[in-house]
Amino acid sequence: MNRIAKFISLSFFIFVFFVSSSLAFASEFWGIRVFDPTNIHSPVNIELAQTAFPFAFKKEDKVEYGRYSGATDNSIYCHAIVTDTSITFKIYNESKEPVKLNYFMDEYYAITKDGYKYILKLPDALQYPSGVLNPKNNIEILLQNNTGTTEIQFIMINLPSSDCYIFLRRID
């Protein structure tokens, strides 16, 4: 009987160890297009983006968020999953205009809780989507999380070929 108890205890320990070591940190982010209402073509700073898109939280299976309609466009939005090694973006275009993607101009930033801004490294040019994200379509982009931290608070996507700036915040 003692052997069986030891075997069961050891099996349980091994199971818990492997399951817990295989679980990775992951957090969700939600974002929408933000713009400077005084000049739609000008880049958006983080303070304006935070004011225009002040919160996001999950309620049941839906993301609820607040936005200032004079500085946001929720017809272009993004969902992201951040792990300790990668960031997966799914960008949706529900607008009437295509969104241009350009490997040589597009920029992705992660802003940590302490305010440090990281430039996220794009994949090889052949792995990055090129061309346009047409209306009523979406695209998935996978980047490495090269920040060395999981304490990311905000993400900013700059798609200058379309004057499109998407601000994502962690879903509470």
What CATH class has 25-170?
mainly beta
Q: How far apart are CA 162 and CA 172, in angstroms?
A: 30
Q: Which residues make beta-bridge pairs with 59?
A: 62
Kindly state the DSSP code that residue 146 receives in the 8-state scheme. Answer: T
Q: In the chain, what are the domain boundaries?
A: 25-170
- Residue 83 CA to residue 80 CA, distance in Å, equals 10
pLDDT of the chain along its 172 residues, tens only?
Answer: 555 544 444 444 333 333 333 344 689 999 999 998 888 778 888 899 999 999 999 998 899 999 999 999 999 999 999 999 999 999 999 999 999 999 999 999 999 999 899 999 999 999 999 899 999 999 999 999 999 888 999 999 999 999 999 999 999 7
Coil vs helix vs strand at 97: coil
Backbone angles phi, psi at 102, to 5 degrees: -145, 110
145 burial via Cβ count (<10 Å: 0-12, 13-18, 19+):
buried
pTM of the model: 0.83
What number of residues does the chain have? 172
